[in-house]
Amino acid sequence: NAGVTQTPKFRILKIGQSMTLQCAQDMNHNYMYWYRQDPGMGLKLIYYSVGAGITDKGEVPNGYNVSRSTTEDFPLRLELAAPSQTSVYFCASSYSGQGGHEQYFGPGTRLTVT
């Protein structure tokens, strides 16, 4: 199992550009999440999905969009990039939301907007 994979690992965007961060998991997990981590801070939830075709906003959704057409993939779209979106983005997945089922994280994408 590759687990949770994310591409790209690094990206520099100019203000106003758009891009899609890719996330895929091969563990057949229903639940998937996108977080951002600003320097020296904890993770904040951007969007999450409890299954294919179902997405919902997290704590900091403004400036982002997601889709979940398959169980495996959960891309995050940035429209009109702003310097405030400079961050490390983590995708995660979990088998269930109950009990001790932990979230498995991808390696992260480091994004700089200048």
Partner 1 sequence: AQKITQTQPGMFVQEKEAVTLDCTYDTSDPSYGLFWYKQPSSGEMIFLIYQGSYDQQNATEGRYSLNFQKARKSANLVISASQLGDSAMYFCAMREGGNDYKLSFGAGTTVTVRA
Residues with Cβ < 8 Å from 84, sequence gap 6 or more? 63, 113
* Strand-pair partners of 87: 111
The residue among 7 and 17 lying less far from partner 1, judged by its C-beta, is 7
Q: Which residues bind partner 1 (CB under 8 A)?
A: 31, 33, 35, 40-45, 48, 50, 56, 58, 88, 90, 92, 94, 96-100, 102-105, 107-108
The distance of Cα 23 from the centroid of its chain, to the nearest Å, equals: 7
The residue among 62 and 98 lying less far from partner 1, judged by its C-beta, is 98
The residue among 63 and 107 lying less far from partner 1, judged by its C-beta, is 107
Minimum CB separation of residue 17 from partner 1 in Å reads: 24
CA dihedral 19, 86, 42, 49 (to 10 degrees): -20
Minimum CB separation of residue 52 from partner 1 in Å reads: 16
Minimum CB separation of residue 103 from partner 1 in Å reads: 6
The residue among 18 and 56 lying less far from partner 1, judged by its C-beta, is 56
Amino acid at 99: G
Say whether the peptide bond before residue 75 is cis (omega within 30 degrees of 0): no
